[in-house]
Amino acid sequence: MNQSRGPWYLFTGLVLGLAIGLVYAWLLEPIQYVDASPRALSPSDQAAYRNMIALAYQANEDFGRASARLAVLGDQEPALTLRRQAELLLASGGTSQEAQALVDLSVVLQNMPATLTAQAALAAVSTPLPTHTAAEGTISSPVDITQTPAVTTPQATFTPRPTANNTGDQEVPYVLLEQETLCDEENAGRIVVEVSDQRGQPQGGVPITVNWANNGSNTFFTGLHPQISPGYADFEMQPGEIYSLRVGKIGEVVTDLQIQTCDSGEPGGWRLAFGVR
Amino acid sequence: MRNARIFWFSISLVVGLAAGIVYGWVIRPLSYSDVSPEQLRTDYRVDYVLMTAEVFRQEGDPARAAQQLAFLGNEPVIRYVQEAIITGNEMGYSRADLELLGDLAAALQTWMPLQVENTP
């Protein structure tokens, strides 16, 4: 009878050992990573890291440095990722200052020539900060990274476009240039805002504040829908609510905005065009 | 015969155990994602501190800087700045960047005792 069992006990031992080994390697003592890159962080930690990059950019306006820092996160579309994060931040009750920083950096990234952002990213990849020491004579630092694009690119005279610094845009006295009712199905119940600068060019990263009854308020930014226009933003109105809207900090306030009833009987929205005179 | 079976069973168990560990640690370790900020490479951690210092220069708010530095782990935040200054110096950070880090360290040193005093 024993002879008929054959070598199955060996197979049992092997499978049992394998199972114990996997439990040990995956659950009890999983491999610990050290010297990780920011792209290995959890999504929430990556968001915090990205947020810090945007705030630092807002502080120093050093695009090369910000671009190099973003490159280590490995985002496929960094500008889009920044915009989405700004939207999520606002939706979750985050501060408008942080959202503004994210939008500012997103707008600048969009306006940069692809070669420049690629070179900045390449600089970050090819000159990793940590692994060199002064003694080796191959010192690298964030300064090296930020200066590399300026040295190597023929577009050395790169200057951030005016949209890059949006802290000043908030102080611009935007005025209402056009106001019209929208009766297309796509914009039913929506306030569509278009902001342009002194030259009439669409302006991204401009904060728009909407207020309604009982201290309701929301701030959002132009530039979150670049596929439409860098100066575009929109807001969904609720039935029965009356809104006022201001562009920037000292722009003209538009009041009595509510869902319109079009000739067809369908709900309509508003299109508001702001600019600088 | 019975002893031989126990012996070979033990051998197969050990071989399976070794194979499982090799598979779980080497061939297919847990994915390289969701690591904590504490596990970031030193240069990235130093650069994060530098970002905090850059923001601090503009905002001048040590409490907010401390909150941002807490992202790096559970150590006292001043320690991260001190490490960043030492490492940044070794890595050849510019004088301007080192001054930023120094300003942040100084601000945190004067700010932290106040927090302690305010604590009942």
Q: Write the pLDDT tens digit of every residue in A106-148.
A: 988 887 665 555 555 445 443 334 333 333 333 333 333 333 3
Asked if B50 is an interface residue toward chain A (Cβ–Cβ < 8 A), one would say yes
Asked whether the predicted pLDDT for residue B17 surpasses 90, the reply is yes
- Band (A277; pLDDT cuts 50, 70, 90): confident
pLDDT at B4: 86
Measured between CA atoms, the residue of chain B closest to residue A97 is B59
Q: How many domains does chain A fold into? A: 2
CA angle A12, A13, A18 (to 5 degrees): 100
A190-195/A232-236 β-pairing: antiparallel
Decide if B95 touches A, using CB distance below 8 A.
Answer: no
pLDDT of res. A115: 54
Same domain, A42 and A155: yes
Percent of chain A with pLDDT over 90: 31
Whole-number Å distance between alpha carbons of A219 and B30: 41
Read off the pLDDT of each residue in A245-257 and give the average, rounded to a whole number: 89
Last residue of a domain, one of A142, A160, A178: A160
Q: Determine, for residues B51 and A56 on separate chains, whether the beta-carbon distance falls below 8 Å.
A: yes
- Cross-chain Cβ contact A21/B44 below 8 Å: no
- Cα separation, B100 vs A274, in Å, equals 40
Q: Identify whether A32 is part of a domain.
A: no
Tokens found for residue A103: 């939008």
Q: Which residue of B has its CA nearest to A47?
A: B71
For residue A205, the model assigns a pLDDT of: 80
Q: What is the pLDDT of residue A213?
A: 85
Question: Residue A3 — pLDDT band, cuts 50, 70, 90?
Answer: low
Quick one: A124 and A74 in the same domain? yes
Give the residue among A114, A89, A115, A121 at the shortest CA–CA distance from A103: A89
- Chain A residues with beta carbon closer than 8 angstroms to that of B39: 32-36, 40
**Boundary of a domain, candidates A160, A181, A214:** A160
The ipTM is 0.79
A33 domain-assigned: no
Co-location of A57 and A144 in the same domain: yes
Q: Is residue A182 part of a domain?
A: yes
Contact B16 A19 (CB under 8 A): yes
Whether residue A210 is found in the same domain as residue A149:
no
Across the interface, of A34, A59, A134, the residue whose CB is closest to B55 is A59
User: Is the domain of A143 the same as that of A178?
Assistant: no
pLDDT in tens, A154-194: 333 232 333 333 445 567 889 999 999 999 888 888 999 99
Nearest to B14 among A17, A24, A31 (CB): A17
Residues of B in contact with A24 (CB under 8 A): 17, 20-21, 24
Q: Which residue has the higher pLDDT, A18 or A202?
A: A18
Q: Token pair for residue A239?
A: 């039935």
Quick one: A44 and A150 in the same domain? yes
Higher per-residue confidence, A87 vs A146: A87
CA distance A230 to chain B (A): 26
Residue B99 clears pLDDT 90, i.e. is over it: yes
**pLDDT of B117 above 60:** no
Q: What is the mean pLDDT of chain A?
A: 77
Q: Which residues of A touch B55 (CB under 8 A)?
A: 52, 55-56, 58-59
**What are the Cα distances from residue A275, in Å, to A127, A180, A195, A246?**
43, 15, 6, 12
Q: How do residues B36-67 score in pLDDT, each as one tens digit?
A: 899 999 999 999 999 999 999 999 999 999 99
Q: How many CB pairs under 8 A join A and B?
A: 184
CA R_g for chain A: 27
Residue A257: pLDDT band with limits 50, 70, 90: very high
Cβ neighbour number for residue A194 with a 10 Å cutoff? 21
pLDDT of residue A140: 36
| Cβ atoms of A222 and A163 closer than 8 Å | no
Strands (E), chain A: 175-182, 190-195, 207-212, 216-221, 232-236, 243-247, 253-257, 260-261, 267-275
Indicate if A175 and A142 belong to the same structural domain.
Answer: no
Residues 9-28 of B with CB under 8 A from A: 9-25
**Tokens standing for B67?**
């909150």
- Read off φ and ψ for residue A255, nearest 5 degrees: -115, 175
pLDDT, position A151 = 30
- Taking CA–CA distances from B6, the nearest residue in chain A reads A9
A115 shares a domain with A216: no
CB contact under 8 A, B19 and A143: no
Cβ-based contacts of B96 with chain A (< 8 Å): 143
Specify whether A125 is located in the same domain as A188: no
Helix (H), strand (E) counts: chain B = 5, 0
Task: Return the higher-pLDDT residue of A73 and A155.
Answer: A73
pLDDT bucket at A150, cuts 50 / 70 / 90: very low
Q: Are residues A136 and A181 in the same domain?
A: no
Q: Which of B43, B61, B94 to mutate to test the interface with A (most CBs of A within 10 A)?
A: B43
pLDDT at position B113, please? 53
Q: Are A92 and A47 in contact (CB under 8 A)?
A: no
Question: Nearest C-alpha of chain A: how many angstroms from B89?
Answer: 9
Please report the pLDDT score of residue A127 as a whole number. Answer: 38
CA-to-CA dists, residue A179 to A10, A33, A176, A194, B18, angstroms: 83, 57, 7, 10, 74
Backbone dihedral angles phi then psi of residue A247, each to the nearest 5 degrees:
-100, 130
Residue A251 is assigned to a structural domain of this protein? yes
CATH at residue A250: 2.60.40.10
Q: Is residue A23 part of a domain?
A: no
Given pLDDT bands bounded at 50, 70 and 90, which one contains residue B14? very high
Q: What is the pLDDT of residue B61?
A: 93
Q: Which residue has tokens 């700010």?
A: B111
Q: Identify the pLDDT of residue A192.
A: 93
Q: Which of these three, A160, A189, A218, is where a domain ends?
A: A160
Select the residue of B15, B40, B90 nearest A38 (Cβ to Cβ). Answer: B40
Beta bridge pairs of residue A236: A190
**Residue of A11, A60, A125 best to disrupt the B interface, most CBs of B under 10 A:** A60
Residue with tokens 């039935």: A239
pLDDT at A52 over 70: yes
Per the domain annotation, does A51 fall within a domain?
Answer: yes
Please enumerate in sequence order all residues whose Cβ is within 8 A of that of A156, keeping only pairs 6 or more positions apart, or say none. A150
pTM of the model: 0.59
A14 within domain boundaries: no
pLDDT (mean) for B81-102? 92
The domain in which residue A264 lies consists of: 169-275
Taking the CA of residue A234 and the nearest CA in chain B, the distance in Å comes to 30
**A48 has a pLDDT exceeding 90:** yes
Confidence of residue A5 (pLDDT cuts 50, 70, 90): low
